[in-house]
């Protein structure tokens, strides 16, 4: 009888402990999420202030700063410029990063660790140091100004993120699927296009979105390479805040927060919504029966 009571007590104790741990984990998660989101909420609320100076909470609410924001042609041009540079840098990083990741994941290079460290080094190097280095380099070849220096600099900065994500995706693939495709007569290009890429499709999209966000938000390296006519959006925001302290930048930041939230939701939807169970697609119009 005592043994049965002890077992019931232990079961009840374990259930209570599990409930407590779950509640504590959820409370910690809620606190951490709120701690991160609170400054963003303050910025969003401040963007509707009716006064032109910094005070929180606002004495009144108005949407005039959004109207003032949309009337600024410099911000519109800088936004599209940042989008164009981000897309270009992301595209180049994917074209360079995919074969690099494939080489790192599938071949045993003698200098593999050195190559990996070299590619990932921009993550640990301060961006302002990279900016100064890029400025000296492009000044010596007379290429300061324009989109090319910015695109190349952003490509180097976002390439480590692309390589890290794609290498992790490629390392987790089952090589027997590729061997089966080769047994069915598929060459390297077909295996690459019909077998490898469909399996890492979510990784490619996620790395592209992350690379675009990093490029779009880049300030430290870009500020050394731009001129007045090709300022990116973060630099235009920085220059505006040197002259004015009204809620216009808060309004723009609120829109950018929404923009980033949409990209994040798209990333989560892509990572969860793509079916990776059918790993061996049609090769040359015929399905494998092996």
Reported as a single tens digit per residue, the pLDDT across 129-159 is 888 888 888 888 887 777 888 888 899 899 9
DSSP assignment string, the chain: -HHHHHHHHHHHHHHHHHHHHHHHHHHHHHHHHHHHHHHHHHHHHHTTBSSSS--SS-SSB-SHHHHHHHT-HHHHHHHHHHHHHHHHHHHHHHHHHHHHHHHHHHS--TTHHHHHHHHHHHHHS-HHHHHHHHHHHHHHTT--SSHHHHHHHHHHHHHHHHHHHHHHHHHTS-HHHHHHHHHTT--HHHIIIIIIHHHTHHHHHHHHHHHHHHHHT--TTGGGT--GGG--HHHHHHHHHHH--STHHHHHHHHHHHHHHHHHHHHHHHHHHS--S--S--BTTB----
Q: What band does 217 get if pLDDT is binned at 50, 70 and 90?
A: confident
At 249-276, the pLDDT tens digits run 888 889 888 888 887 787 777 666 644 3
How many percent of the chain have pLDDT more than 90? 5
Whether the per-residue pLDDT at 91 is higher than 90: the answer is yes
Mean pLDDT of 111-126: 80
What domains are there in the chain, each with its CATH number? Answer: 64-273 (1.10.3720.10)
């Amino acid at each position: 009888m005592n043994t049965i009571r002890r077992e019931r007590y232990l079961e009840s104790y374990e259930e209570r402990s599990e409930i407590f741990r779950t509640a504590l984990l959820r409370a910690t998660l809620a606190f951490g999420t709120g701690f991160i989101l609170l400054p963003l909420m303050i910025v969003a609320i401040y963007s509707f202030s009716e006064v032109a100076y910094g005070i929180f909470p606002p004495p009144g609410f108005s949407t005039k700063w959004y109207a003032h924001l949309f009337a600024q042609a410099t911000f519109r041009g800088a936004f599209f410029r940042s989008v164009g540079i981000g897309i270009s840098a992301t595209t180049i990083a994917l074209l360079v990063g995919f074969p690099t990741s494939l080489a790192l994941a599938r071949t045993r290079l003698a200098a593999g660790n050195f190559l990996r460290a070299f590619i990932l080094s921009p993550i640990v190097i301060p961006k302002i140091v990279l900016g100064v280095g890029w400025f000296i380099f492009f000044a010596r070849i007379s290429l300061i100004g324009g989109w090319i220096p910015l695109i190349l600099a952003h490509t180097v900065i976002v390439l480590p993120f692309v390589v890290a994500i794609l290498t992790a995706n490629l390392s987790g693939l089952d090589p027997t699927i590729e061997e089966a495709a080769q047994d069915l007569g598929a060459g390297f290009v077909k295996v690459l296009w019909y077998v490898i890429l469909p399996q890492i499709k979510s990784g490619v999209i996620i790395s592209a979105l992350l690379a675009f966000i990093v490029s779009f938000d880049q300030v430290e390296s870009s500020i050394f390479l731009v001129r007045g006519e090709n300022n990116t959006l973060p630099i235009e925001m920085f220059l505006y805040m040197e002259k004015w302290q009204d809620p216009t930048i808060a309004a723009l930041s609120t829109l950018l927060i929404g923009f980033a939230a949409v990209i994040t939701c798209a990333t989560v939807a892509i990572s969860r919504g793509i079916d990776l169970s059918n790993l061996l697609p049609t090769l040359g119009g015929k399905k494998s029966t092996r």
